[in-house]
Structure 1
Amino acid sequence: MTEAVLSEVEGLTVSRAGHMGRLVLDRPRKLNALDAGLAQGISQALDAWRDDDSVQVVLIESSSARAFCAGGDLRAIREALLAEGPQRAFTLMDRAYDTMRQLAAYPKPVVSFLDGITMGGGVGLGCHVSWRVVTERSVLAMPETGIGLVPDAGGSWLLSRAQGLAGLRLALTGGRMDARQAVAMGFADIHAPSEELDNLRAALAHTLPEQVFASMQAEGTAGAGVALPPELEQCYTAATVAEVIERLKACDLPEARQDLEDMARASPFSLEAAWHGWHRAREMDTLDAAFEVERRLVQLVLERPDIAEGIRARLVDRDNAPVWQPARLEDIPAPALQGVRAL
């Protein structure tokens, strides 16, 4: 299979340079939103290069400095959900999850340039690979609770591996990380100036990543340097989401007030699902095991009205006024909570 044939996939450019296979996400107007077709195209290229000895390293990046990948194609997911139902929507999302797991398990080194916005599905594409490079333009997040979804794409695994309860906080609030924070949280390895990406790309065409990055020091060490203030950490040691919120209300820190505002915009059911997903991922031994829990949580939320409503409010009508069902944590039916906690 030639690179020309592989490049026939809409939104993906596939090429070779020296011993490097290069995958360029090229849907700039959609911030490289990941759909099933794009995911399939990436998988086909990886399959073609797996046993090709002339390909020693794979680079995945964006054609635009604005975004590596802002997440899944949520408009397409919503359309499938409304027209064909939850199972069809999940099938589309699951195709992307397969590609993310393929990248994570790839037998050759994979490098990602996480330049610009990297959220949700973008984290799944770029943050489970061998070498992850962020720049001063990088913004990373798992903002799913704000659209009625749940941290997925292996995001719960990464968030659960961060020091203390900083990852749980981000799972619930959808908070953003800059490059330094992404390295410290374990979402990235190397913090490089954006003007160095061309040089790094050229070097990777003839030199293996461990040599290219050997002289580059990451800002911080994964899992260190992201500890929450003790008062804030104490809020997240609570036994339930509702108790976290009550503790935040009693906390005088400005971060606590911001967290309350962020969670007030989120789907109550998604907060419960995110809480459970993070704690379950913390118990898991492998990324694949965390993916399986996430998949089941995603199937649960797709059965509920919040995700279609959240996508409508945030991305379609952009009124930022979703009507969650239910609107309060305390009104979530006990059987629904039991369904989450049984996973």
Structure 2
Amino acid sequence: MTEKVQFDRLDTASGHQVGVITLNAERSLNSLNKAMLDSLYEQFSEWQEDSKIVCIFLQGAGEKAFCAGGDVRSLRQSVLDGDTSAPGQFFEKEYRLDYLIHTYPKPVICWGNGVIMGGGFGLMAGADFRVVTDTSVMAMPEITIGLYPDVGGSWILNRLPAKIGLFMALTGCRLNPADAMYLGLANRFIDHAFRKNVLESLQEADWSGDHYQVTSDVVQYYADNSAGWLPYSKIREHRDLIARMMDKSNFSAIIADLKALETEDSWLEQARNIALTGSALSAVVAYEQFKKSRYVSLKEVFQSELVLSINCVLKGDFQEGVRALLVDKDNQPQWAYPLIEEVPREKVVEMFTPPWGESANPLSNL
């Protein structure tokens, strides 16, 4: 059986090595399962201490996706089979991996070709060089499956201008490469045809100097040669409208504005429709988590997300959302609460209550 994550060492002209990590689950758009997360965490940790490794290049197999998220179908099935510990084990390892990438002491290039969603967004967010290509599509569409933007999303999206992060959380809107660059979710645009050239240039480089500078020089060269091909940004076009809708004193007013939105723009209309048909419980949880996460550290965000994510799977709309969208594919989810106004305050409190009681948060030692 082919390994779902492949690890390669590329020798450089200066006697060093570039570590190449390939998510190799092409049929599932490189979605992450627990075994893949374990392998990734182990290899990142090992290469962190390996003096020969000067740079990490993270990519997805195939042309369709870097990573479409977590393997939520398997996670749902584990819970249905009676393994209520599965969500905690999955999310704890995923968040440890994401945090490790955010704090990694060596340059990390993430080649975000194709679909970058959910867990793929989490892997990419911590990389030093976050590359989008001509085919990149980025989104955090968790509201459609009864989750919310996790993998550090509470921290990352909160720092976007004009409350665009909240708009992304509520609408699952799709970002093209120009959107990702405009928001800083990506910091290099390189045509996908240059991928092999980038790897070859990393091998040919002299790594005897500052490794971040060497990596930057290589990546920037190809970014400069791709500059003319960047598409048009929908986020930039609609920034003021999004800001007006999201900058309200309460959540009901935001939803009211989305309901009242009249537009002939298909991108905006799709975003609006997702916001109004997604899980109301997830929407309320996402909004509350945004408020709570505004001024806390990344470490604290991952700790709070572990609470929420476990509760969403075991007590929220997750199982029904995954069933409707990805298992039965009837696209007719029966959400626990049809409207945000119907979500009881005590249910929201329950979602934010640690499922391990008085014990320490499993991520307290991040």
| TM-score normalised by length of structure 1 | 0.89
Q: 8 Å contact 1:145–1:173 — kept in the other structure?
A: yes
Q: 8 Å contact 1:163–1:227 — kept in the other structure?
A: no
CA distance in 1, matches of 2:38, 2:289: 26
Q: 8 Å contact 1:117–1:140 — kept in the other structure?
A: yes
Q: Output the amino acid matched with 1:266.
A: G
Q: Output the amino acid matched with 1:174.
A: G
Match of 2:339 in 1: 328
- Name the SS for the 1:199 alignment partner: helix
Match of 2:217 in 1: 211
1:205, distance to aligned residue in structure 2 (A):
2.5
Match of 1:239 in 2: 249
CA distance in 2, matches of 1:228, 1:160: 18
1:303 correspondence with 2:309: no
Match of 2:115 in 1: 117
CA change 1:244–1:23 in 2 (3 A) is same
Instruction: Show CA shifts across 1:44-96 (max 9, x none).
Output: 21222122211100111012111101000101110122223543222222212
CA distance in 1, matches of 2:220, 2:29: 31
Q: Output the amino acid matched with 1:233.
A: A
Gapped regions of structure 1 (runs ≥ 5): 1-7
Q: 1:281 aligns with which of 267, 289, 293?
A: 293
- Name the SS for the 1:164 alignment partner: helix
Q: 2:8 aligns with which of 9, 15, 21?
A: 15
Q: 8 Å contact 1:163–1:226 — kept in the other structure?
A: no
Q: Output the amino acid matched with 1:263.
A: A
Q: 8 Å contact 2:188–2:220 — kept in the other structure?
A: no
Q: Describe how 1:123-162 pairs up with structure 2 within 5 A.
A: 123-162=121-160
1:317 correspondence with 2:328: yes
Identity over aligned residues, as a percent? Answer: 28
1:328, distance to aligned residue in structure 2 (A):
1.9
- How many equivalent pairs are there? 331
Q: Describe how 1:1-343 pairs up with structure 2 within 5 A.
A: 10-18=3-11, 19-207=17-205, 208-215=214-221, 216-217=223-224, 226=236, 228-254=238-264, 257-284=269-296, 286-339=297-350
CA distance in 1, matches of 2:69, 2:347: 27
CA change 1:250–1:63 in 2 (3 A) is closer
Q: Output the amino acid matched with 2:37.
A: A
CA distance in 2, matches of 1:229, 1:15: 42
CA distance in 2, matches of 1:189, 1:229: 19
Q: 8 Å contact 1:20–1:204 — kept in the other structure?
A: yes
CA change 1:21–1:257 in 2 (3 A) is closer
Match of 1:3 in 2: none
Gapped regions of structure 2 (runs ≥ 5): 12-16, 206-213, 355-366
Judge which range, 22-31 or 292-301, deviates more. 292-301
Q: 8 Å contact 1:133–1:190 — kept in the other structure?
A: yes
Q: 8 Å contact 2:308–2:352 — kept in the other structure?
A: no
CA distance in 2, matches of 1:329, 1:291: 25
CA change 1:126–1:9 in 2 (3 A) is farther
Q: 8 Å contact 2:259–2:276 — kept in the other structure?
A: no
CA distance in 1, matches of 2:282, 2:109: 32
CA change 1:111–1:230 in 2 (3 A) is closer
Instruction: Show CA shifts across 1:147-205 (max 9, x none).
Output: 00111111222211111111110011111111111111221110011111111111122
Q: 8 Å contact 1:156–1:281 — kept in the other structure?
A: yes
Q: Output the amino acid matched with 2:218.
A: V
Q: 8 Å contact 1:15–1:21 — kept in the other structure?
A: yes
CA distance in 2, matches of 1:226, 1:280: 27
Judge which range, 228-237 or 327-336, deviates more. 228-237
CA distance in 2, matches of 1:252, 1:47: 50
Q: 8 Å contact 1:20–1:55 — kept in the other structure?
A: yes
